[in-house]
Chains A and B, each alone.
Chain A
Amino acid sequence: MGIGIVITSGKGGVGKTTTSANLGTALALLGQKVCMVDTDIGLRNLDVVMGLENRIIYDLVDVAEGACRLPQALIKDKRFENLSLLPAAQTKDKSAVSPEQMEEIVTQLKREFDYVIIDCPAGIEQGFRNAVAGADQAIVVTTPEKAAVRDADRIIGLLERERVGMPKLVINRVRSHMMKNGDMLDVEDILDLLAIDLIGVVPDDDYVIKSANQGEPAVMNHESRASIAYRNVARRLLGEAVPLQPLEQKGGVLHKMRKFFGLK
């Protein structure tokens, strides 16, 4: 029996879908059987970020309504043999699926896969309740902004009432120089407020935007700093003790040598 993990945040635009795509792919690269489920009915994105949009035939609502069988709706990612996607419908809205139906679908998927990554829509309404219904664990994504942290706090409060246990935290889009200057909330402040376990700090990286536009999850690249951070999140999820990456930009030996020779 696999594990259902919901990726949620409350606030929109903090990187739930990006985190889902990259964490799902990273787990698949580590040899796990992974299915990603997009529950953002009406505003589906995960298929676009994964570059699988043109392969959608059936979707989550079709499965819930019984228009097709669950395996028919799953899109197998040809790049990674372990990875599948259950896309959301684009034409309906969140009320097209009930929490009971979601729980049933995720339970079925857990028999087949090691990890079911559930991408949650923004907000705390039905879409959120649907996404949480089948999950065993939760990962809360936030950025170092007051508004995002406030919403993350609200979501953690709501998750406490569900059976997902203590959620884990991913701090996304961290700009180290702003944190250092005190212009941005720093990791310590956020952890002090939210009081949950940190599972990853992902630096702000242009490559993430580029890769999403190309339909290739950033973790496929081995150089990108965000990619390394996401792969570390996946390894921590599997129980490995991976230290946090230093946030400094290009702090390597080579950089220091170049600086020494005035090459900058």
Chain B
Amino acid sequence: MTTVKSKVTIKGTKDGLVFFMDDACSFDELLEDVREKIEHSHQQILSGPLIRVSIKLGKRYCSPEQQEQLTQIIRQKGNLVIHTIEADVITREEAFAERLKSQFSIQVNTVRSGQVLEFDGDLLLLGDVNPGGTVRSTGSIYVLGNLRGYAHAGISGDTQVIIAAAVMSPTQLRIADVISKPGEEWTNQSGGTEFAYLENETMLVAKMNYLSRIRPDLGSKKREG
């Protein structure tokens, strides 16, 4: 039998070993090759002190049972500790759950001085942000309470996000890279429900009923993802 291309490539990094799995062959072929490598051909490098192992599955989707099968084979060697199993693909359900999770979260508490609340996605806070307290998120921030502290929306650079508060009296606001505080481009008008947004890299604050004119697609954009 002539040598075929190996299904498993093992590489050493400073964090341990990385197993790159071929994603074009069948799962059984892959298992066979892993077993061969572990049990026979690679004895020298696969013995000795504890080594962390990361498995890269490439564009192959492995069910939890299949992952378990791989783990079983590699675990035979007492010194190999499986650290992560990563694939470039996930199921539809996982993707959906991931999207839901990162899109919108509701928090019920008061952010007091010295506390930092940080989120991925849009954040609805039911409570106050006190002076010295900080709220940060990659998306928009909506505070159903008194915003007296710091709020930073779009921390990874999104300039379309807004910061809205039932009572807007912040110490400082940030959207993406723009920093602003009351009295600069805007002043506390009513202390009522207002929102801050960016226009030409300048922060502006308007009454909530202008939102539909300024960011008409804020709601629909989120629904489509």
Contacts and interface: CB of A to CB of B under 8 A. Distances in A.
Interface stretch (A39-47, A90-98, A151-159, A236-244): A151-159
A157 B115 contact: yes
B128 A195 contact: yes
A160 B127 CA distance: 15
A150 interface: yes
Interface of chain A: mostly helix, strand, loop or mixed: helix
A193 interface: yes
What bracket does the count of chain B residues touching chain A fall in? 10 to 19
Nearest to B145: A195
**Could you say which of B112, B115, B132, B148 has the most chain A C-beta atoms within 10 Å of its C-beta?**
B112
**Could you say which of A154, A192, A194 has the most chain B C-beta atoms within 10 Å of its C-beta?**
A154
Interface in A59-94: none
A4 B113 CA distance: 26
B198 to A, nearest CB: 29
B148 to A, nearest CB: 7
B113 A150 contact: yes
Contact of A157 (B114, B146, B148): B114
B128 A153 contact: no
B110 A154 contact: no
B116 to A, nearest CB: 11
Contacts of B114: 154, 157-158
Interface string A136-163: 0000000000000011011011101000
B131 interface: yes
A153 B112 CA distance: 6
Contacts of A150: 113, 131-132
B140 interface: no
Interface string A162-195: 0000000000000000000000000000001111
Interface of A: 150-151, 153-154, 156-158, 160, 192-195
14 contacts: A150-B113, A150-B131, A151-B113, A153-B113, A153-B131, A154-B112, A154-B113, A154-B114, A154-B132, A156-B112, A157-B133, A158-B114, A160-B112, A193-B130
User: What are the 4 tightest A-B residue pairs by CB atom distance, in nearest-first order?
Assistant: A157-B112, A153-B113, A154-B113, A154-B114
